[in-house]
Amino acid sequence: MNSEVIALRPLIAAEMRSGIRVLYASEYGSSEKGYANKYSDIDVMFVYAYGPLDYYGISPLETSIKFQDGNTEYSGMEIRSFFRSLHKSNV
């Protein structure tokens, strides 16, 4: 089984556990750039959204999710927070 499939399993588990939907995921960091060594971990960044009805509530929603699974670190950003950051940048 290739590493991409293994890296997706914790994201699917996070979807079920947190009630989110992962919209985009990408590897980043030293392993993605080819600078990794045997001690390097794998970093995965993802963008997620909640279900449509969750946005109508008055309780604030989490804007980021971080967790680790083995030597892989996952960092997620909620879609509205992602677009706010994108808007503030000079992209």
Report pLDDT digits (tens) over 13-42: 999 999 999 999 998 876 666 676 677 788
- Give how far the C-alpha of residue 33 lies from the chain's centroid of Cα atoms, to the nearest Å: 18
Burial class of 48 by CB neighbour count within 10 A (0 to 12, 13 to 18, 19+): buried
The predicted pLDDT at position 75 comes to: 95
The predicted pLDDT at position 1 comes to: 47
Are the C-beta atoms of residues 5 and 42 closer than 8 Å to each other?
A: no
d(CA 78, CA 60): 12
The predicted pLDDT at position 91 comes to: 59
Banded model confidence at residue 6, pLDDT cuts 50, 70, 90: low
- 8: its two tokens: 């997706």
Q: Tell me the pTM.
A: 0.82
